[in-house]
A and B are shown apart, each in its own frame.
Chain A
Amino acid sequence: MDAVYLAFVFVLTIFLGFELIAKVPSTLHTPLMSGSNAISGITLVGAIASLKLGSGFFATLLGVLAVIFATINVVGGYAVTNRMLEMFKKKDDGGAV
């Protein structure tokens, strides 16, 4: 893929990201932070794709470590966000879900 094309996607997504979050009640600040943190664990996809056969010991070691850390970020991030939001549901949700 062309670098210019990738940059194109990047710039448009930045604008989308800015627009996406406008008004957030302060009770949702931490869950939103945690939820978007889990998305940043997308590095996992990159780490998996880079772990190719026959890439040598050190590169494989770095790749495995990257997979481990990114997986902790993804799995832990979503699980923790879910736990936080579960609290909300008990407190003030009148069956909206």
Chain B
Amino acid sequence: MNLFINFSYLVAAVLFIFGLKMLSSPATARRGNLVSACGMLLAVVVTLLASGLAYVWIVLGLVIGSGIGLVAARRVEMTQMPEMVALFNGFGGIASLLLAWGEFHQGHEYTAFLLTVTFLSAFIGGVTFSGSMVAFGKLSERMPSRPLTFAGQHLVNGAILLLAVVSGILFAMTGGYGWFLLTVVLALVFGVTSVIPIGGADMPVVISLLNSYSGLAACAAGFVIHNNILIVAGALVGASGVILTNIMCKAMNRSLANVLFSGFGATSKKS
């Protein structure tokens, strides 16, 4: 059965690759999305064949999630698409965080490598979640879309990131629950503080970057639970997301660093 599941994962990975490739050309884009969706359906269905799963809870989660996802996707106006993508992306991020947390909570025997990938999954997932929520807030104007800056902002962000790295190292060495929770808090804070200084006009680039992060978070989660398809699909999204972000920056004649660190979006909007 395991062999069958893994072989199906291979097929799903191939479908994702073709789907992405087709999505980048106008003539095949729509079919590409369907191909990739078929890959996802296949991956989910064969995963359900594994033994010892808590089906009641899985089905409950699938039904609730599909309902919310379908209604949201159907109701959203065309002009609100980018903010919807931000919202969905954030949910993908928090799912990776929760998955890593759930696995850690079950208290398996952990090696330093496993603890490191658990940290990465939770941290990147958390940053993706809160960063995407800020991007969503700015685009839907639930938050002021101008850059929110304060003196020494880069220093504060640097300090938070440094603290997160230290907490990650301590977590990997000790496996302490406290360090894990600290990581989660720092990730959520860092997502907010790193996105608020960016103007609303630059949000599509930020969402693309956060999309890349959510892929990496899924990938790290794949290392946590030793699952090939998570690693492959996550790494695909992570790498192609970086390229897409870069293409989007070039289309605006800007560098990524310029978008992320200058709080420029609003100034270019005003002038």
Residues on A close to B: CB < 8 A? 1, 3, 6, 9-10, 13-18, 20-53, 55-56, 58-60, 62-89, 92-93, 96-97
Contacts and interface: CB of A to CB of B under 8 A. Distances in A.
A16 B102 CA distance: 31
B29 interface: yes
B144 to A, nearest CB: 23
Interface of B: 16-17, 19-21, 23-34, 36-37, 39-40, 43-44, 47-48, 50, 52-54, 57-58, 60-62, 64-66, 68-70, 72-74, 76, 78, 81-82, 84-85, 88-89, 91-92, 94-96, 98-99, 101-103, 105-106, 113, 204, 207-208, 211, 214-215, 217-219, 221-244, 247-248, 251
A24 B69 CA distance: 27
B88 A72 contact: yes
B73 A30 contact: no
Contacts of A84: 78, 81
Contacts of A23: 24
Contacts of A70: 65, 91-92, 95, 99
If over half of B's interface residues share one DSSP class (helix, strand or loop), that class is named, otherwise mixed; here it is helix
B73 A18 contact: no
A41 B236 CA distance: 12
**Chain A to chain B: the 7 pairs with minimum beta-carbon distance, closest first:** A71-B65, A17-B239, A67-B61, A76-B69, A75-B69, A79-B73, A62-B102
8 contacts: A39-B40, A42-B229, A50-B99, A51-B53, A63-B99, A70-B99, A80-B81, A83-B78
Among B54, B102, B217, B224, chain A packs the most CB atoms within 10 A around the CB of B102
Given A37-B89, A41-B92, A73-B92, A80 B101 contact: no
B47 to A, nearest CB: 5
Nearest to B247: A24
B84 to A, nearest CB: 6
Nearest to A66: B98
Nearest to B21: A20
Contacts of B221: 43, 46
B40 A6 contact: no
Given A48-B47, A60-B57, 18 more contacts: A21-B247, A27-B26, A32-B24, A38-B33, A39-B20, A42-B43, A45-B47, A47-B99, A47-B102, A49-B47, A50-B225, A52-B52, A67-B57, A75-B66, A78-B36, A80-B76, A80-B85, A96-B27
Contact of A66 (B34, B76, B102, B215): B102
Contacts of A27: 26
Contacts of B78: 83-84, 87
Contact of A9 (B103, B218, B232): B232
Among B29, B43, B251, chain A packs the most CB atoms within 10 A around the CB of B29
Contacts of A88: 26, 29-30
A58 B177 CA distance: 14
A83 B58 CA distance: 27
B99 A36 contact: no
Given A37-B237, A78-B33, A48 B17 contact: no
B262 to A, nearest CB: 21
